[in-house]
Amino acid sequence: MAIVKTVATTPFSGQKPGTSGLRKKVAVFAQPHYLENFVQAVFDSIGEVTGKTLVVGGDGRHHNRAAIQTILKMAAAAGFARVMVGKGGILSTPAASCVIRKYRTFGGIILSASHNPGGPTEDFGIKYNIPAGGPAPEAVTEAIFTRSQGIGEYRILDAGDIDIDTVGSRPLGPLLVEVFDPVADYAELMERLFDFAAIRALFASGFRMKFDAMHAVTGPYAREILECRLGAPAGTVMNGVPLEDFGGGHPDPNLVHAHDLVEAMKGAGAPDFGAASDGDGDRNMILGRDFYVTPSDSLAVLAANATLCPGYAKGLAGIARSMPTSAAADRVAAKLNIPAFETPTGWKFFGTLLDAGKVTLCGEESFGTGSDHVREKDGLWAVLMWLNVLARRRESVAAIVSAHWREFGRNVYSRHDYEGVDAKAADGLMEHLRGLSLKGVRLGAYTVAFNDDFAYTDPVDGSVSTRQGIRVVFEDGSRVVFRLSGTGTEGATLRVYIERYEPDPTRHGLDPQVALADLIAIARDLAEIEARTGRKQPTVIT
Ligand code: G16
């Protein structure tokens, strides 16, 4: 008979969830009581858990399996009746959201540091998703943090580890642990949303694709859906085996880190379509042959073509994007005569809009796209939606995006990241920007219309979020935005977002770094980036 142990503990400072959960180095999570304190703080903050069901899974990174064993024993001690665990501890973030919703569980715990590297010296993360399937809103993460700072003990079942690699149900003390196939429910949902017959016909016609799973969680999902159900040739999925350290790579689907895929998409012999997803499967990057689709443009193009997909044939209720994301989707919303919403960075801010039926599609510049089918952004979903559009239009990615720009104009866009900057210097830079009063000031060829620190009042629940990024908006609608990342684990990452609207089709082909050069220089000068951080160049440009 397993007994529950009550273990005395003391709070750890800094258990404050960031943009998407608590992310720290593995060594921080592996120290005695660290994970336990946080999990107990979650269980103490989410209401009555007795008799309820919880979903648990992660992206398979180092420490995933050990953390799951701890969480199972703590869930048993807390009084949960059942925990559903993805086989092998694997569950992509969107699949976790799908399962939470489908089985109406009392939310779930997702173990991931998303696109950050994995391995013994790298990152780990944990977050709680609410019963609606989405990341906990700020009120809940604040409550968890507050509880973690006052914690004095946690409860855990005194039991050995349980098998999480065999599908089926087994008891862990009073808890029923149900190990399930992490792919099946998600794949079934995708079949309902997209025209699988049309995509199968596309592949059968010789269409070639490369999907880079980056040795992260989407490998098994992509193989099942693309290669088994849609008939894409074996080998379409590259780096498809999830590894605890992602093969030493950085599982961030962007032009820098998905380098092999980017190279494979160059030249006349390249595949027709390329895509990648991140550590936990919620991000996506879309490529055509010799063509990169920015996440902001991807959202706009998918919105404009959504009715080609069975799940969206009735049209969209509205579109939401995070503030730093380009306004390309707003132009589509205007044309469709549906509302467009601008939220702070973080998928959690879309939750209320989705729950209230105000929006159908959401997207972020940070390689996130999704819809009301779950409450997380969804990498493979975006890839399948593109495939559905390609299958119906039978044009190249480049042709589809170029035609989109001709119709709507192009929001030329780029993001410059300065990673691993000294945290104090980064805070000083933001304070400096906050102190500027720029209205009416002429900077190069531009006149400032307004500058502010973005604040958001949720139109559904009225909650207010402040200090969400510095905007400098010019009279012609061009803008530069400055934010500090909320997902890093080392120093600070300064993100600079640059955008200009270009209606002239003869200029749509220009390299964004060239087309935006004057705004990039203005942003650098305004923020005194080099003087304050010592950085001459960004580390990543997307
Ligand atoms: C998380 C959030 C996203 C956010 C992104 C970037 O993504 O879920 O909503 O846009 O972080 O955040 P930041 O600019 O603060 O680093 P993920 O994929 O890391 O969970």
State pLDDT tens for residues 279-333.
Answer: 999 999 999 999 999 999 999 999 999 999 999 999 999 999 999 999 999 999 9
Residues 366 and 496 in one domain: no
* 317 alpha carbon, distance to own chain's centre: 22
Residues 157 and 239 in one domain: no
Structure tokens at 225: 């859906």
Residues 132 and 105 in one domain: yes
Average pLDDT over residues 332-344: 98
Higher per-residue confidence, 148 vs 18:
148
Please report which confidence band the pLDDT of residue 487 belongs to, taking 50, 70 and 90 as the band edges: confident
pLDDT of residue 19: 77
> Which residue is catalytic, options 112, 114, 366, 371?
114
Ligand 1 atom closest to Cα of 488?
16
Residues 79 and 69 in one domain: yes
State the chain's mean pLDDT as an integer.
96
Helix/strand/coil (H/E/C) assignment for every residue in 91-131:
CCHHHHHHHHHHCCCCCEEEECCCCCCCCCCCEEEEEEECC
Distance (Å) from CA 19 to ligand 1 centroid: 6
Residues 352 and 207 in one domain: yes
Please report which confidence band the pLDDT of residue 489 belongs to, taking 50, 70 and 90 as the band edges: confident
Residues 387 and 418 in one domain: no
Residues 396 and 438 in one domain: no
Work out how many domains the chain is built from and give that number: 3
Q: Domain of 480: which CATH number?
A: 3.30.310.50
Ligand 1 atom closest to Cα of 345?
10
Q: Which of residues 408, 426, 459 is at a domain's end?
A: 408
Residues 23 and 93 in one domain: yes
Q: Domain of 106: which CATH number?
A: 3.40.120.10
What is the spatial distance between Cα 308 and Cα 112, in angstroms, rounded to a whole number? 33
> Taking Cα atoms as reference points, which of 261, 212, 67, 46 lies closest to residue 137?
46
List pLDDT tens digits, range 158-190: 999 999 999 999 999 999 999 999 999 999 999
Q: Which domain holds residue 467?
A: 410-541
Average pLDDT over residues 272-277: 98
> Taking Cα atoms as reference points, which of 86, 6, 15, 9 lies closest to residue 54?
86
Residues 359 and 473 in one domain: no
| Phi and psi at residue 504, to the nearest 5° | -80, 110
- Does residue 66 have a pLDDT over 80? yes
Ligand 1 atom closest to Cα of 486?
15
End-to-end CA distance of the chain: 56
Helix/strand/coil (H/E/C) assignment for every residue in 182-222:
CCHHHHHHHHHHCCHHHHHHHHHCCCCEEEECCCCCHHHHH
Among protein residues, the one with the nearest Cα to ligand 1's atom 3 is: 346
Distance (Å) from CA 20 to ligand 1 centroid: 6
Q: Which of residues 388, 408, 428 is at a domain's end?
A: 408
Q: Which of residues 359, 385, 408 is at a domain's end?
A: 408
Among protein residues, the one with the nearest Cα to ligand 1's atom 14 is: 485
Residues 168 and 203 in one domain: no
pLDDT of residue 486: 84
Residues 264 and 202 in one domain: yes
H-helix or E-strand containing 452?
A: strand 446-453
List pLDDT tens digits, range 373-420: 999 999 999 999 999 999 999 999 999 999 999 999 999 999 999 999
Pocket, ligand 1, Cβ cutoff 6 A: 19-20, 114-115, 282-283, 322, 345-347, 364, 366, 368, 485-487, 495
Distance (Å) from CA 45 to ligand 1 centroid: 23
* 378 alpha carbon, distance to own chain's centre: 7
* 233 alpha carbon, distance to own chain's centre: 28
Distance (Å) from CA 170 to ligand 1 centroid: 35
H-helix or E-strand containing 145?
A: helix 138-148
Ligand 1 atom closest to Cα of 487?
16
Distance (Å) from CA 362 to ligand 1 centroid: 14
Residues 307 and 253 in one domain: yes
Please report which confidence band the pLDDT of residue 2 belongs to, taking 50, 70 and 90 as the band edges: confident
Catalytic: 478?
no
pLDDT of residue 1: 65
